[in-house]
Amino acid sequence: MPTLPNTRLRALLAEADWSGAQLATALRHAAAEHGQQLSCDRSAVSRWLSGTTPRPPAPALLLEVLSRRLGRPVDAVQAGLSRAPSTLPVLSWEADPSRQLSALTGADLDPGRRHLLGATMFSLTALAVPDARPSYENPSTGSATALPRERGRAGQAEVGQMQTMTRVFAEAAEAHGPGHVRTALAAYLRHDVTGYLQSPATGNARRGLLSGAAQLTVLLGTMSAGDGADALAQHYHRTAARLATEAGDSVTFAIALRTMSAHAYDLGHRTVAVLDLAQRAVDATRSAPPIVAAYAQAHLAVMRAHHDKHAALTALAASEHLYEQASNTAPGPFTHYPAGALHYQRAQTLATLGDKAGATGALTASLRLRTPAERQARTLTRARLAETLLAQGHLDAALHHWQTFLDEVPSLHSTRVTRRLHDMRRRLKPHRRRPGTAELLDRAAVLR
């Protein structure tokens, strides 16, 4: 049967004030952001407007670039790419976050729907978090839109359990890589935590349950990003921020915003939107403990370095001053900011500002301060130090660190580690005739 023209896509293209050639250019740029190559030109867009369905990954990219251009989310039905609503959860800031967490983890644990989630794209549009300040407004029971499944009353025992599980999952991901544990965390959230959120609870317990859920969800988002599921990670981080606002938990809200901005930065985005999110995280720490404020300021320095040198150094100094004020912080992923991490952010800032020697010194300090428990962080820091040394012409020193890096790679299931491995191969390829380099590349060739 003949295809019907895609009038919805044509209307969106007109609203965006784009020609077919301009849309094709935007699609190629978006694909490049995700490390993909997309063969797309004006004739391909013309075929889509005539009714031909674009092949993956073009549909996901198409929705992303249109959303960016129009400043609002555009789904497949609105773009004429599907006649039926998606089976994936619809994520909205206005919706009940407990329901969103349940729907999102349910899709994540379903193999077919997880595949669909993986096919979506990380969205710069989704970085636009509404200007909501955390406030707690429900002192006695669960949300009025709670799911109908009945459970017993939840209280401080469940809050304590969630705090323990947060530490356990964070330590396991750091020791073995997020790929080994993120499904278990998703299952815990889906089958236990969402049940606690549906149960009757007193005011303090209710706030604790929401805060605990927010922290676990931040952690799951970070694990998903570390496992290469960037769009899913973004969904979890936004849901965590929304849970934190409902709990009136400005600390976890700030951490969620900072994590969202850092994730975008790690993917290569240096835009004003990413910078604004980092600034909002800092603004949310005005009444937070110094250690949390230092954590937010350090990332702001990293982002500022791409826009304003003086502002970057000011933020870095503020972070270091706050860190000095924070003594005897309690252990835990949301209460402690390792010194090695602070030096790592210092290295990122200085490297962007062109201070290679300063960056090398900061990375060296970071590596020295990393504890045995920070296994993944130590491995990534060592890889960055090797890259920095090579850029300064210190091949032998770089090879020494990469040898140790390769010792850790097999036991860490982490996309971030795998990316550093691929980057090592690329950087060393021009030096493969130098002593020691060929042997290192041969050893790396059998790894993932």
**pLDDT per position as a tens digit, 21-44:** 999 999 999 888 877 888 899 999
- Nearest CA to 218 out of 191, 161, 180, 178 is that of 178
Whole-structure pTM value: 0.87
Give me the pLDDT at residue 149, please. Answer: 41
Across 90-94, 210-214, 346-350, 394-398, least confident range? 90-94
How would residue 15 be classed by pLDDT, with cut points 50, 70 and 90?
very high
Distance of alpha carbon 290 from alpha carbon 326, whole angstroms = 5
The pLDDT mean for the chain works out to: 90
The residue among 326, 348, 344 whose CA lies nearest residue 336 is 326
Query: Would the pLDDT of 142 be above 60?
Result: no
Q: Ranked by mean pLDDT, which of 115-119, 267-271, 400-404 comes out on top?
A: 400-404
Distance CA 210, CA 196 (A): 9
Q: Where are the domains of the chain?
A: 7-70, 94-124+146-248, 370-448
Q: Please, which pLDDT band fits residue 396 given cuts at 50, 70 and 90? A: very high
**Residue 285 in contact with residue 293, Cβ under 8 Å?**
yes
- 192-224 pLDDT per residue, tens: 999 999 888 888 889 999 999 999 999 999 999
pLDDT(300) > 80: yes
Residue 217 and residue 185: Cα distance in Å, rounded?
Answer: 9
